[in-house]
Amino acid sequence: MGICASCGTEYAPLPSRARYCSNACRQRAYRRRSAGTSTVVAELPGYDDAFVGREAELAELLLLLRKHRMLTVVGPAGVGKTRLAVELARRCRRTEVRTVELGRLSRPDQVVQAFAEAVGVYQHAGVALRTTLVHELHHRRVLLLVDNCEHLVEECCEVVDALLSRCPHVQVLATSREALRSIGEAVFPLRGMGADAAKLFRERAGTGGDHHTVETICARLDGLPLAVELAARLSVPPPELADRLDHRLDLLTDAGEQVRHQSLRAAITWSHDLLTAQEKELFRRLALLPGGFGLEIAEVVHGRSVIGPLTALQAKSLVARENDGRFRMLESIRLYAEERLGEHGEREVTAERIIAWLCEKGEPGVSSSILTPGQVQAQHQEYDNVAYAFAHLVAPRDDRRLMLATMLLRVCFDRGYFAQAGAVLMQVLHQSAADARYRILALEYASLLAAHEQRHDEAVDHALEAIATAEAGGQELIMCRLYRTLAHAHEGLGDALNAARALRRSIEYGARNGNDVSVAVSSQNLGWRLLVDGDTDGAAHLVDSALPVLRVHARQDVVAIAVHTSACIALERGDLATAGAHFAESARMMAETPRAAVESIEGRGLVAMASGRHELGVRLLVACQQMRTTWVVPPEPWWRRKMAAALDLSRESLSPAAFQRALAAGRSMDARHALETALDKEIVRDAVLSDRQRVVVELVAQGLTNAQIAAKLGISHRTVESHVHNVKTTLNLSSRTQLAAWARTH
C-alpha cells in the first residue's frame, strides 16, 4: 500500500499513479504549487553580486558529487560555504534542486518540517511526516542543498540517513561548521580563498587599490570571504584599513546583512554559542598562541587534558590542524577568543603559563653544551608564539625577556635574517641586571651577532664576558660551547692562534664533562682551522673522528658543515672522487637553504675544474659569487684564494670565447639552478685534459722547467705550477718523470 502525497489516504499504487491516489489529487497538488500556497523553496538563493574565484574547489567538488550521494562542505564562520554550495548546485545540471535552510531553526523537531517544506510535502493526519517525506522522494531524482546544519547536527543526520537509505535517487549537499557523520558522508574542508581573496576584495570594492596593500589585508583576514567582503565595503582607504585590522571585530560589520552575518563578530558568535562550557574554556585560553600549538602547550594553558574539547573545537571548525600536526586558529577567530579571555579575567594567568612554558623550551641553552635537533626544532616551531609573548605578554622588567629575545635571534640566525632580532636582544641586554639568570646566554648570542655584523672586537668582548660570568657561577657544563663561540670571534679578527687555543679549551671542557657531541663539533671546527693552516693530516684526524658522532647525534646543518670540511680535505689530497661525493652530500643536506649550500656548490665547481670541466666550474663559481653578493656572505680568505686560483687556471685553459660564455651562463643562474647543476652526477668524470694542459704536458716531456714553460706560453709561473699539479692529480701521478712517460704513451 502507498500513501497519497496530496490527501494522505492509503492506496494501491499503479505505475501511472506512483505518488497520488488519483488524477484529481495529482491536479490538486499541481494547482497548489502553481498558486503559491506551498512553502516549497523551488529555486536556489539569488545574489546581487558576482561569484568570484574558487574554481579549483568547484572542480574538485563536482568530482566528489559524481562519486558520493552525501557531501558536506565544512569550514569556519565566514569562509563562504553557502555561497560555494549554491554555485556548485547551480552547475550540477540536475532536473531538480531544492534548498533546505536550517539556519533560522531553533528546535530539533523543526528539521523534518524544513525538509518537507523544501520538497513540497504536507503533514497528513495519522502519518509521521518523515514517513511521508521518504515516500514522496522515493522515486524523485533531486539534489537537496541542506544549509547551516551545525546547530542541529544529530537531527539533520537522522533525516539524511533515512532519505539516503530509502530514496535511491536523492543526493544531499550540506554545509556545516562540523561534519554530520552521516553514513557514506564525504567531507570537504573549505579554507580561505588564498590568491582569489584579493580578486574578491577588488570586485566588491569596485576599485583596484594598491596590489601589495590589498594582498596584505586579505592575508591578515585569512582569506575569509565574509571578512574580505565586509572590509572591501568600508569607505576606508586600504592603507588605513590595514593598520586597523587588530580591531577587525568592531570594524567589519554590515547591518544590511542577514543576522548571523551582519558582522564578523556575529558570525563567530554563532559558532561559539554552540560550544559546551569546557570547550568554551579551552577555546578562549588558546587565544594567546597566534603561532599555533601542540597538545603539550594546549594542556598547559588549559590545566588538564585537552583531547576531548580540542577534538570538538577542530570538528566545529574553530581550530584547524595543519599539515605539520600542529593546531591553529584563524586570526579573526583568535581575536574573538582573546576578547572572551579578557571578559573572564583569565588573561594574566594564561599569559604566565605560556611565558613559563616557552622559557622552559629555551632552558637547555642555559645548562647544556649543545642543543639537540629536537630542541632546535621546538624553538623554530614556537617562534611566532615567542615573538607574541615578547611583544604582548611579558612585563618590561621581567628578566625572562632576555630568554625570549635570545630564542628569537637563535631562530633568525638559521633563517638568514637577524638584524631586527639582534637589535631587540642588544636593547634588552643593556637594560638587564648583571646577575640576570639568562644574561650568559644573551651575551653568547650578542657575540655571535657581532661576529655576523663584522664587529669582531665586540664579539670577542661579549664572549669573554660570558665565559667570565659562567666561571664565576660555576657553570662548567656550558664552557665547551662558550669557548667555541670565543673561537668564532677570534676567527673573525683573523687571530688564528687564539682561535685554535679557544677550540682546544672547548674540547678539554667537553671531554671533562663527557659531552661527545659538543666535543665533535669543536673538533670539526679545529679541523677546519688546521686545514686552513696547511696541516691536512691533522685536520683529517680530527674530522674523521668527529664525523661519525655528528652523523648520529647532531643536527643536519652541523653534519653538513663537517661533511664539507671532509670534502675540502679530500680536495687538498687530490682525491677528486671523494671530494665530489662529499660536496654533493653536503649540498643535498642544505638544499632547502641555498644560502647555507653555497660553499658546497662552489666545492663541486672546484672538483669540476680539477676534472677538466672548466666551463661547468666557472659557471658554478660565478653563480655563487652573485649569491654571496646578494646575501652578503663573503667567503673565508683561504676559500676565496682557492676559487681565485681555479678561475685563473680556467681562464688560461679555455679560449676567451668559451670563458666569456661560461661567465655569462653563471650570471644567469639562480640559486636553485646552480644547486641542480652542481648535483649533476657527471661532474666528476674520467680524466680529460684541456688543450692548454696537454701543451704543458708535452713541454714537460721535452724537459722544460716550469719557468721555461711559462716564458714560452706567455703565462705566469704560478699558472704553470697549477697546471702541472692538477694534471698529476687527475692522472694519479706523483712525479714529473711519470708525467713525461705518460705523455710519450698518449
> pTM (2 decimals)?
0.69
- Of the candidates 204, 195, 245, the one whose C-alpha atom is nearest the C-alpha of residue 226 is 204
CA atoms within 13 A on the CB side of 522: 30
* pLDDT above 90 as % of the chain: 21
Confidence category of residue 682, pLDDT binned at 50, 70, 90: low
Looking up cell 543526520, which residue turns up? Answer: 157
More confident residue, 164 or 10: 164
How far is 86 from 88, CA to CA, in rounded Å? 5
143 beta partners: 97, 171
289 vs 567: CA distance, rounded Å? 44
Query: What CATH number was assigned to the domain covering residues 691-743?
Result: 1.10.10.10
**What average pLDDT does this structure show over 87-96?**
77
Residue 16 has pLDDT above 70, yes or no: no
Are 55-189 and 691-743 in the same CATH fold? no
**Three cell numbers, residue 472:** 664565576
Q: Residue 691: its pLDDT value, please?
A: 66
Averaged pLDDT score across all residues of the chain:
83
- Closest to 148 in 3D by CA, of 171, 178, 175, 185: 175
Residue 40, pLDDT > 70, answer no
Domain 55-189 belongs to what topology?
Rossmann fold (3.40.50)
- The predicted-structure confidence for 641-664, as pLDDT tens digits, reads as follows 999 999 998 888 888 888 999 999
pLDDT confidence bin for 487, thresholds 50/70/90: very high
Least confident of 361-375, 464-478, 489-503, 696-710: 361-375
Handedness of CA 572, 576, 582, 585 (dihedral sign): positive
Q: What are the pLDDT digits (tens) for 425-484?
A: 888 888 888 888 888 889 999 999 898 888 999 999 999 999 999 888 888 888 998 999
Cα distances (angstroms) measured from residue 279 to each of 210, 285, 303, 307, 642: 41, 10, 13, 11, 64
- For residue 183, the SS3 value is coil
Lowest model confidence (mean pLDDT) among 3-17, 278-292, 544-558: 3-17
Burial 667-705 (b: 16+ CB within 10 A, else e): eebebeebbebbbeeebbeeeebbebbeebbebbeeebe
User: Which pLDDT score, from 0 to 100, does residue 330 have?
Assistant: 84
Mean pLDDT for 164-193 is 87
User: What integer pLDDT is reported at residue 715 of this predicted model?
Assistant: 79
306 closest CA partner among 298, 314, 316: 298
Q: What is the CATH topology of the domain spanning 277-344?
A: Arc Repressor Mutant, subunit A (1.10.10)
Give the model's pLDDT for residue 52: 84
Partners of residue 17 on adjacent β-strands: 14
Q: What pLDDT shows up at residue 563?
A: 94
The domains of the chain are located at 2-36, 55-189, 195-274, 277-344, 691-743
The C-alpha cell at 354 is 605560556
- Mean pLDDT, residues 339-360 taken together: 91
d(CA 619, CA 590): 20
DSSP string, 508-543: HHHHHTT-HHHHHHHHHHHHHHHHHTT-HHHHHHHH
C-alpha cell recorded at residue 422: 639582534
For range 84-90, the mean pLDDT: 86
